[in-house]
Structure 1
Amino acid sequence: MAFGRWVGFAALIAAVVLLWDLRFVLIDLFGSVVLAVAFCTLVRAVQSRLGWRRWPSLALSLLLVVVLVIVVVVALVPPFSAQFRELIEQLPQAAQALQQLIGGDLSSAIQSNISNPEKWNLANSFSRVVELAGNFGIGLVQLVFVVAVALMLSVQPEDYRQVAVLMAPSYLRRRIAGVLDSCGQALSSWMVGVLISSVAVGFMAFVGLSLLGVKLTTANALLAGMLNVIPNVGPTLSVVFPMAVALLDTPWMSLAVLALYVVIQNFESYVITPSVMHHQVKLLPGLTLAAQGIFTVIFGFKGLLLALPLAVCLQVVVRELVVRDVLDTWKRPGRFC
């Protein structure tokens, strides 16, 4: 092999290693791109509805997002904090109610551990609290970074798109620009589909919890709609708190809440999401499931959270650059004599 080819091969290996080391930074940047696309979709919707220029529409969209975040925080944090404190105070009673449902000696075990400080292992607990606080601080810094980059991308999207296009060779720039536009349109369509699905889940949870008489109906419905964005894990997490609230009130109601959420998630998984996503992005279910597993292994929880938008972009890239530009140009070889 010629020296130039060895140098190119070594450069390729070095680039792959560098990308692997920077994978967590890259997934944060992709999260910023997803947020920027969502925000730009909102800006375009405001422009089309009101007929304004981009900068007033951008300011109004930012104001709407800030107000929405404040409303969600006010609606979720205070009632959940109070209910969580009540849940901790009534933990023995909850364990006793749970014992009546599933049997066993769970209540006595919890009460003995609570009443015996020697079993608490305070040193271990303190180190875990410090570790949790450190992880929370790192996560908060990363969230600020993602939001800040998303805002920068949203202010000048065409300039950043042009920079990305100029990184490609001149003969590929028009094709890369088309692929980037297709990825942006696919992400926008996916976000509309997720919004429709989340609103439907939140509405069904609100109606069901209201009929059951569970406390914090609005907050739990908002939580169910928000966590619906996280595939597989989100719906499971959304049922934990309403079950705990129902268990403190009436033990049998927790089972009713579990049954309600199972019905809602099955209806969402087999009726709402397939019809909405097929209409919006035509995302294949097998690709979705494979993407969740692969991206979770590579990027951790962030990969699970961003698995669907990654799968949407991957589907566009494979269709445009692999299928159309490579596979569709292959011709059947002639017969050999």
Structure 2
Amino acid sequence: MSESEEAQPLRTTNGPPGRPFSRAGLVLLGILAAVFFWFAGRLLLLVFAGVLFAIFLRTGAGFLSKYLRLPSGWSLLLFVLLLLGGATTAGWLFAPSLAEQARDLTEAVPKAYSQLTDRLRETTWGGWVLDQVEEGQNAQEDGAMVGHATTAAWRLIDGIVALVVVLFVGLYLAVDPQAYVRGVLRLVPMARRRRAGEVLYATGYQLRWWLLGQLLSMIVVGLIMGIGLAFIGVPLAFALGVLAGLLEFIPTIGPPLAVIPALLLALVDEPQKALYVLILYAALQIIESYLLTPLVQQRAVHLKPVVTITAQVFFAWTFGAIGILIAVPLIAAVQVAVQMWYVEDLLSDDLK
């Protein structure tokens, strides 16, 4: 086959000439992908999490390689060692106090919730609402205590296995990503291989900037929330700041979840502090919306809030915790592929 023939896209009898995919082919491909994803969804999500970890490692290694003039392999090794050293140092400095505050937080939040419900029960409407909630909980908890210990043990084992899979996939991909990219491209017909490579590159680019944006948001939100809560006088501010930073990785849903324990502790300690916590949370949302998010969106794909929330609810409902963690970057990757393959190639539309 000549070079000019290889550059021509595959034509179909039903589709317009020059378009690389037919509508029937795309529908069939979508159905097959949906069926496969349904049966192997959790494993695929773990592999995708490993891809994100590999992108993180390659980004850090690329930074070191650029400024230290190191070969790719040595820069990756140095970055991994820096991560391990930083984690060890942080653990040695902060782990004792963080573990103590985390333990106190797990005890303080239920107590604060109990005290708050006692106060609400003193009011007529509050007592009625709590009675309705408790009736529903009692109906669901009949017989639920049986097997809780076994379930917790299996969840722990499942979490450890998932973490090992993500780490190994990420490390192996980071060592030689081009080998795996070439392997994927070999599955694509020759006429479409160049375009598939462009889609893979664009997807990796978007995921890299999405990941960097989330890490930046996590650091900023964790620091501001921890310092702000300490200034307000909310108990266990350090642990609450770390929790806020970690939950920031989950767009849209994470930030409101992070502020709930801070509000509970503030309400029990001094109701006026709860107002200050809400003001701090609102200020953080303004900083994120008008400073951090636009900075990242200059390079990363932008997802509409409805798409984000719908994806998070669906993946959380279907796959649990790993689903809600991976939903947004996965949808971002899918959006890039749809934009390039369907909108631009099939529809010949350059609308972004």
Is 1:25 the counterpart of 2:43? The answer is: yes
- The equivalent position to 2:290 in structure 1, one of 271, 282, 302, is 271
Q: Which residue number in structure 1 is paired with residue 343 of structure 2?
A: 323
RMSD between aligned alpha carbons? 3.5
TM-superposition CA deviations, 1:114-154 (whole Å, max 9, x none): xxxxxxx9974352232122122212211211111111111
**Closer, same or farther: CA 241–67 of 1 in aligned 2, 3 Å:** farther
State the Cα distance separating 1:324 from its structure 2 match.
2.0
- Structure 1 residues not aligned, in runs of 5+: 1-8, 111-120, 331-337
State the Cα distance separating 1:16 from its structure 2 match.
5.1
State the Cα distance separating 1:99 from its structure 2 match.
3.1
SS of aligned partner of 1:328: coil
State the Cα distance separating 1:74 from its structure 2 match.
1.9
- The equivalent position to 1:152 in structure 2, one of 172, 186, 189, is 172
**Closer, same or farther: CA 122–47 of 1 in aligned 2, 3 Å:** same
TM-superposition CA deviations, 1:191-249 (whole Å, max 9, x none): 1221222222123213311221223333322221121011233223322443454456x
Is 1:103 the counterpart of 2:88? The answer is: no
Query: Following the alignment from structure 2 to structure 1, what is the Cα–Cα distance between the partners of residues 191 and 292?
Result: 39
Q: Is the 8 A contact 2:232 2:273 kept in 1?
A: no
State the Cα distance separating 1:33 from its structure 2 match.
0.8
- The equivalent position to 1:87 in structure 2, one of 97, 100, 108, is 108
**Closer, same or farther: CA 126–87 of 1 in aligned 2, 3 Å:** farther
- The equivalent position to 2:326 in structure 1, one of 299, 303, 306, is 306
Aligned length: 307
Q: Is the 8 A contact 1:190 1:309 kept in 2?
A: yes
State the Cα distance separating 1:163 from its structure 2 match.
0.8
Q: Is the 8 A contact 1:38 1:191 kept in 2?
A: yes
Query: Following the alignment from structure 1 to structure 2, what is the Cα–Cα distance between the partners of residues 176 and 296?
Result: 30
Q: Which residue number in structure 2 is paired with residue 197 of structure 1?
A: 217
Alignment of 1:123-272 (within 5 A): 124-125=144-145, 127-246=147-266, 250-252=269-271, 255-256=274-275, 258-260=277-279, 262-264=281-283, 266-268=285-287, 270-272=289-291
Q: Could you state the TM-score of these two structures normalised by the residue count of structure 2? A: 0.74
Q: Could you state the TM-score of these two structures normalised by the residue count of structure 1? A: 0.77
Of 162-171 and 60-69, more deviation after overlay is shown by 60-69
Query: Following the alignment from structure 2 to structure 1, what is the Cα–Cα distance between the partners of residues 50 and 322?
Result: 12
Query: Following the alignment from structure 1 to structure 2, what is the Cα–Cα distance between the partners of residues 82 and 291?
Result: 32
State the Cα distance separating 1:103 from its structure 2 match.
3.5
Is 1:41 the counterpart of 2:55? The answer is: no
Is 1:63 the counterpart of 2:71? The answer is: no
**Closer, same or farther: CA 233–68 of 1 in aligned 2, 3 Å:** farther
Alignment of 1:1-12 (within 5 A): none
Query: Following the alignment from structure 1 to structure 2, what is the Cα–Cα distance between the partners of residues 298 and 98?
Result: 32
- Structure 2 residues not aligned, in runs of 5+: 1-26, 131-140
**Closer, same or farther: CA 177–13 of 1 in aligned 2, 3 Å:** closer
**Closer, same or farther: CA 173–298 of 1 in aligned 2, 3 Å:** farther
Report percent identity of matched pairs.
26
